[in-house]
């Protein structure tokens, strides 16, 4: 009996020791895994900071990369903040530079920026939350939910009603791309004054100007109508409605529709800067259209929003149902879902939104099903060019199927053809540039120091490997080059340069 007890005791002791050793090994393994993950994350951060590049790679040529610090200085962007989603969570976030140029006020992960039009995406989820609650409906005439003001009936509304669905996807035919901004000291119009175009509103009344549900027509005013519908049905101020519906529940505790926001250097808020990196007088402007552009937030909290969209698609969101998340990510009109721009498809479906107010340029991008994404916020006019490079860098480092640089195969033009394109050009009657030949391509140097490397992809069409912009030369009646036309962001922005030394 004693022998049996001894064996039992020995067995129990052995099992306990084995279990404890297993627990110890598991903890050691978890610690090692965590340390390895942290090291890999630090490595990825440094890579993102060092692989900023142009949208175009020349086939066979070595890709040129720049550091974030270099490009911030080049584009004259005082401050930038970045947050990256990986494996369904925020993997890292970091601030760079200054909140106000010339002042010792560093940007950190909690620094607030104006979200501008990214506000529409957050507002859209707020609308969908109240649709889920039954306060609103996507496909009922929005006038049924408006009390303080209603969309005036006209020939277009008699054909098709304006609904929340088409207001969200910019397909309601509403006027008012933007409803204006207001400087410090300006009187700020109320929502009703904006809707009716009455002073101090700077724009005309909000009206239906084309048949709803027929064409994409970007309209910040459409989101103002949704704002008024929420106020009328829920009976609370819009900032309170959004905080209750979305911001607080998902942890966007720094974010809010703070308009107007007074400057205080003690507050952690980034001021807006012009194209030369100088702070704007008054630091920022007030956005009277809260739902369309009035959000103050951080990249980390924009990522929390993106993660909530991803969770919604899996049926795991407490804010919107899986069905509404799918509606949000369905192309309704012009590659636009409900409050979100869309690209890709299937497992590579991605969503996001850009936002630009005076002095702020930002972008949110995320994959719907891959648990990845990035948010970048900047405090300068040229931040657009910077965030595009940061997005490409993140795509390279994390090996995303979208946003990576495209590869162009240049053609080789005869030297005599290239010589036709050389000389001095003046763009917009003010910016002088010199075009010379370098190897088998053109090099353009601006009087302001800007450099462009134009590679030909046809006899008369060139692509810049620094910006991805396109260049085309125009000939006069005597078949001499008279103009150079640069297209940026597709054909969204076009500048023309006159050749000033024809015949010399």
pLDDT tens track for 332-362? 998 999 999 999 999 999 999 999 999 999 9
Q: Mean pLDDT lowest for which of 36-40, 137-141, 371-375, 421-425? A: 36-40
What does the pLDDT look like over 387-433, one tens digit per residue?
999 999 999 999 999 999 988 888 999 999 999 999 999 998 888 99
CB 479 within 8 A of CB 469: no
Look at residues 428, 377, 384 and name the one whose alpha carbon lies nearest to residue 108. 377
pLDDT band at 18 (very low <50, low <70, confident <90, very high): low
Supply the pLDDT for residue 30. Answer: 64
What does the pLDDT look like over 118-161, one tens digit per residue?
999 999 999 999 999 999 999 999 999 999 999 999 999 999 99
Supply the pLDDT for residue 1. Answer: 47
| Residue that is written with structure tokens 């078949």 in the block | 479
Q: pTM of the entire structure?
A: 0.86
pLDDT of 251 > 70? The answer is: yes
Task: Tell me the average pLDDT of the chain.
Answer: 92
Supply the pLDDT for residue 323. Answer: 98
Tokens of 9: 């005791």
Supply the pLDDT for residue 504. Answer: 44
The percent of residues above 70 in pLDDT, for the chain, comes to 92
What does the pLDDT look like over 156-174, one tens digit per residue?
999 999 999 999 999 999 9
**Angle (nearest 5°) at CA 154 between 153 and 157:** 75
pLDDT of 19 > 90? The answer is: no
CB 375 within 8 A of CB 95: no
pLDDT of 65 > 50? The answer is: yes
Supply the pLDDT for residue 11. Answer: 66
Supply the pLDDT for residue 493. Answer: 78
More confident residue, 58 or 360: 360
Backbone φ, ψ for residue 387 (5° rounding): -65, -30
Instruction: Give the DSSP letter string of 375-417.
Output: EEEESSTTHHHHHHHHHHHHHHHTT-SSSPPEEE-PPPPPHHH
| Residue that is written with structure tokens 């669905």 in the block | 165
* Rg (the chain; Cα; Å): 27
What does the pLDDT look like over 204-245, one tens digit per residue?
999 999 999 999 999 999 999 999 999 999 999 999 999 999
pLDDT of 3 > 80? The answer is: no
Q: What is the distance of C-alpha 402 from the center of its chain?
A: 15
């Amino acid at each position: 009996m004693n022998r049996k007890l001894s064996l039992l005791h020995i067995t129990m002791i052995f099992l306990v020791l084995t279990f404890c050793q297993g627990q110890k090994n598991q903890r050691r393994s978890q610690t090692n895994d965590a340390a390895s993950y942290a090291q890999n994350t630090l490595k990825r951060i440094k890579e993102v900071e060092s692989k900023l590049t142009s949208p175009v790679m020349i086939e066979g040529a070595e890709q040129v990369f720049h550091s974030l610090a270099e490009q911030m200085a080049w584009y004259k962007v005082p401050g930038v903040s970045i947050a990256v989603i990986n494996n369904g969570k925020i993997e890292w976030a970091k601030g760079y530079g200054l909140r106000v140029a010339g002042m010792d006020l560093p940007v950190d992960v909690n620094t607030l920026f104006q979200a501008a039009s990214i506000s529409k995406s957050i507002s859209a989820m707020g609308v969908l939350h109240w649709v889920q609650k039954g306060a609103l409906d996507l496909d009922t005439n929005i006038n049924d939910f408006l009390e303080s003001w209603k969309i005036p009936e006209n020939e277009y509304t008699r054909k098709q009603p304006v609904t929340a669905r088409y207001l969200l996807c910019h397909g309601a035919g509403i006027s008012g791309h933007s409803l204006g901004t207001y400087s410090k000291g300006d009187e700020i119009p109320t929502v009703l004054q904006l809707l009716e175009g009455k002073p101090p509103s700077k724009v005309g009344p909000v009206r239906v100007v084309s048949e709803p549900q027929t064409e994409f027509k970007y309209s910040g005013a459409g989101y103002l109508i949704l704002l008024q519908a929420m106020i009328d049905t829920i009976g609370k101020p819009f900032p309170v409605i959004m905080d209750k519906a979305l911001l607080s529940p998902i942890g966007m505790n720094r974010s809010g529709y703070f308009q107007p926001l007074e400057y205080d250097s003690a507050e952690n808020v980034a001021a807006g800067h012009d194209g030369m990196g100088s702070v704007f007088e008054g630091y920022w402007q007030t956005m009277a259209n809260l739902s369309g552009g009035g959000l103050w937030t951080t990249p980390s909290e924009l990522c929390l929003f993106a993660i909530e969209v991803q969770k919604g698609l899996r049926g795991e969101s407490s804010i919107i149902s899986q069905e509404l998340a799918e509606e949000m990510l369905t192309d309704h009109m012009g590659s636009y879902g409900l409050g979100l721009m869309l690209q890709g498809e299937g497992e590579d479906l991605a969503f996001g939104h850009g936002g630009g107010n005076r002095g702020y340029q930002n972008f949110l991008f995320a994959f719907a099903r891959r648990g990845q994404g990035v948010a970048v916020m900047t405090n300068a006019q040229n931040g657009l060019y910077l965030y595009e490079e940061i997005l490409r860098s993140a795509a390279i480092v994390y090996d995303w199927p979208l946003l990576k640089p495209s590869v162009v195969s240049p053609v080789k033009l005869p030297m005599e053809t290239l010589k036709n394109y050389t000389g001095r050009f003046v763009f917009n009657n003010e910016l002088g540039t010199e075009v010379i030949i370098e190897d088998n391509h053109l090099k353009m140097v601006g009087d302001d120091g800007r450099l462009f490397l134009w590679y030909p992809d046809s006899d008369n069409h060139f692509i810049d490997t620094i910006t991805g912009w396109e260049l085309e030369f125009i000939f006069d009646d005597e078949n001499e080059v008279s103009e150079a036309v640069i297209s940026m962001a597709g054909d969204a922005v076009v500048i023309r340069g006159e050749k000033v030394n024809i015949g010399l």
